[in-house]
Amino acid sequence: MLENFFTVLLSYLLTPWGVIAFIFWLTMVVDCSRQEVGHSRKWWLCFMVLLHIGGALLYAIKCWWPRVSSPKAKVLLPYWLQTKPKNDAEVLQAEADARNIGKLHQFLRLGDLRYDRGELEQAESAYDQALSQDGENARALWGMANIAVTRQDLAQARDWLTRLMAVDPDFQFGEGGTFYAQVLFELKDWDNAKDCLLRQCDRHSNPADELLLAQVYQQLGKPALAKEALEQMLLRMNGAPPYFQQQHRKCLTIGKKLLHQFA
- What's the pLDDT tens digit per position in 112-162? 999 988 889 999 999 999 999 999 999 999 999 999 999 999 999 999 999
Tell me what the mean pLDDT of segment 13-24 comes to. Answer: 78
Residues 130 and 184 both lie in one domain: no
pLDDT level of residue 23 (50, 70, 90 thresholds) = confident
Residues 201 and 245 both lie in one domain: yes
- How far apart (Å, rounded) are the C-alpha atoms in residues 25 and 109? 38
Domains of the chain: total: 3
pLDDT at residue number 10 = 58
Residues 119 and 187 both lie in one domain: no
Residues 181 and 256 both lie in one domain: yes
Residues 231 and 156 both lie in one domain: no
Q: Is residue 230 part of a domain?
A: yes
Q: Is residue 61 part of a domain?
A: yes
Tell me what the mean pLDDT of segment 166-195 comes to. Answer: 94
State the residue range of the domain holding 46.
13-68
Residues 255 and 189 both lie in one domain: yes
pLDDT at residue number 225 = 94
pLDDT at residue number 42 = 82
- What's the pLDDT tens digit per position in 40-99? 778 888 888 888 888 888 888 887 776 665 444 444 444 444 444 446 788 889 999 999
Q: Is residue 73 part of a domain?
A: no
CA distances (Å), origin 119, targets 133, 147, 232, 246: 22, 10, 41, 33
Question: Which residue type is seen at 165?
Answer: M
Q: Is residue 18 part of a domain?
A: yes
User: Residue 225 belongs to a domain with what CATH number?
Assistant: 1.25.40
Q: Is residue 36 part of a domain?
A: yes
- What's the pLDDT tens digit per position in 212-231? 999 999 999 999 999 999 99
Q: Is residue 74 part of a domain?
A: no
